[in-house]
Structure 1
């Protein structure tokens, strides 16, 4: 995988500080006209991803999102037996 480094002096002076602050809480997704195209993250997050040591909870974790209570209603519908003939 190719990597690139863009010197911060080539960017709006306030943008690097804003992006660094944002990615300290989690990945920052950059979009183009077709949708998400790039991700900015901390080196620690990147190294955890490439090490292959992430578990499903870490992959699905969305910082700042509230917990969702999920208590599905049990179905009382009866299902006829399958006809395997």
Structure 2
């Protein structure tokens, strides 16, 4: 993971550079030399937010060898068969 730091001015002048850097790791955006914002890829954000990953999203990550996937329980989808 690479951490990139850009000033607010650099970010405003070259946002595409910041977006490309965010694919490699977080991008800290400073305001007057102090960290003010962080730019993350959507994948990194979802990991931090603790959102459950769907099977399709997990499989769409070609650079990730292993991942945790806990499928949701199928509550209310079963019924007792009528054997009469």
What is the TM-score when the length of structure 1 is the normalising length? Answer: 0.42
Which structure features the higher share of strand residues?
A: 2
Return the index of the structure with the highest Cα Rg.
Answer: 1
Higher RCO (C-alpha under 8 Å, 6+ residues apart): 2
